[in-house]
Amino acid sequence: MSKRWFQAHQRDTWRRQARSKGYRARSAFKLKQIQEKFTLIREGDLVLDVGSHPGGWTQVSVEETGPNGFVLGIDLLASAPVEGAQMIIGDVTEESSQTEILELLQNGVKVNGKPLPPVNEGETRLFNTIVSDISPRLTGQYDRDQAISLELVAMVFDFTLPLLRPGGAFVTKIFQGTGIEGIVNAAKQRFSRVQRFSPEASRNSSSEVFLVCKNKLPLSKKGSRGTSVMQELDIHLENEGIIQQKGNEPEEEIKSGFRRIPKKE
Ligand SMILES: C[S@@+](CC[C@H](N)C(=O)[O-])C[C@H]1O[C@@H](n2cnc3c(N)ncnc32)[C@H](O)[C@@H]1O
């Protein structure tokens, strides 16, 4: 039995199960298995689902939060509505999306069909949990895909952590390979518990792993204050000799799949 045949068979099994249980994607089982082990989402929670299309993780999040919770999905792509959730179309790495989400959180949360009262002046309503299954459009070149995905994950941390309340939980998909330690170390500066987990639904099928982070610290640890996850990833990659220090290399140079994403204007 070839490895490829086995992997395809496994994927089909999860896909069939998803269809029979009414989930839009087999990835729903990944979040279910993460939830079974770590209980990241509790009843009544406010949850942000990053990279939510077509909505499998959103469906699982709604099941877990129940009627007193609130789930907001964001994706570049439009999804069919998920009962009990709100969806927005947008790029999570854009500042405008962060502003839109924050505004919605303060004044647009509906629980059980009724809007929550707007927060008092000076207070901010934040999410209890952020779940991210985000993935860039894959090119099929593993080094390149893994590098782009790592940078995307760093951006998701930087753009969404300000939306997560202290004590909150965060999980993100990440592709194993060069530089992953840079992200793991940056996460450890911001959460008291960080663990890699490979749910059965993704085992054998790819090199993805989930980084499960619990208990967001009120302030990141001393060494990390004032730096972003992206900066810490860059420093890690420079220390490992994977990218060169800024200014020492032509911008275009690519090493081991890594490229610098130019800052958005
Ligand atoms: C593996 S799919 C998510 C599947 C989803 N968790 C589910 O269970 O249905 C990854 C998603 O990430 C989205 N994505 C990639 N880059 C994004 C970005 N910058 N902002 C928002 N979504 C993004 C893609 O459009 C894609 O739909």
Q: How far is CA 263 from CA 60, 155, 223, 255, 260, in A?
A: 34, 12, 24, 19, 9
Q: In a 3-state reduction of DSSP, which class is residue 112?
A: coil
Instruction: Provide the pLDDT for residue 234.
Output: 94
Q: DSSP per residue over 167-218, as a string?
A: EEEEEEEEE-STTHHHHHHHHHTTEEEEEEE--TTTTTT-SEEEEEEEEE-S
Instruction: Provide the pLDDT for residue 184.
Output: 97
Per-residue pLDDT of the chain (265 residues; tens, 9 = 90+): 566 666 666 677 888 888 889 999 999 999 999 999 999 999 999 999 999 999 999 999 999 999 999 999 999 999 999 999 999 999 999 999 999 999 999 888 888 888 888 788 888 899 999 999 999 998 888 889 999 999 999 999 999 999 999 999 999 999 999 999 999 999 999 999 999 999 999 876 568 999 999 999 999 998 888 899 999 999 999 999 888 776 655 544 444 455 444 444 4
Q: How far apart are CA 28 and CA 69, in angstroms?
A: 18
What residues does ligand 1 touch, defined as CB less than 6 Å away?
24-25, 27-28, 51-57, 74-77, 91-93, 133-136
Catalytic residue among 173, 188, 222, 246: 173
Instruction: Provide the pLDDT for residue 95.
Output: 93
Gyration radius from the chain CA atoms: 19
In degrees, to the nearest 5, what angle opens at C-alpha 247 toward C-alphas 229 and 174? Answer: 30
Q: Which of 53, 59, 96 to mutate to test the pocket of ligand 1 (most atoms within 8 A of CB)?
A: 53
Q: How far is CA 66 from CA 28, 55, 130, 186, in A?
A: 16, 16, 16, 32
Q: Which atom of ligand 1 is nearest to the CA of 59?
A: 8
CA-nearest residue for atom 24, ligand 1, is 51
Q: Which atom of ligand 1 is nearest to the CA of 133?
A: 6
3 part of the active site: no
Instruction: Provide the pLDDT for residue 246.
Output: 62
Instruction: Provide the pLDDT for residue 255.
Output: 47
Instruction: Provide the pLDDT for residue 46.
Output: 97
Q: How far apart are CA 113 and CA 96, in angstroms?
A: 26
Give the strand order in the sheet containing 85-89.
Answer: 85-89, 70-75, 46-50, 127-132, 164-175, 208-216, 191-197
Domain ranges of the chain: 3-239
Instruction: Provide the pLDDT for residue 9.
Output: 64
Q: State in Å: Cα 123 to ligand 1 middle.
A: 30
Give the CATH fold of the 3-239 domain. Rossmann fold (3.40.50)
- The pTM of this model reads 0.90
Strands 164-175 and 127-132: parallel
Q: State in Å: Cα 91 to ligand 1 middle.
A: 10
Are 84 and 62 in contact by the 8 Å Cβ rule? The answer is yes
CA-nearest residue for atom 16, ligand 1, is 136
Compute φ and ψ for 160, nearest 5 degrees. Answer: -105, -20
Q: How far apart are CA 213 and CA 169, in angstroms?
A: 6
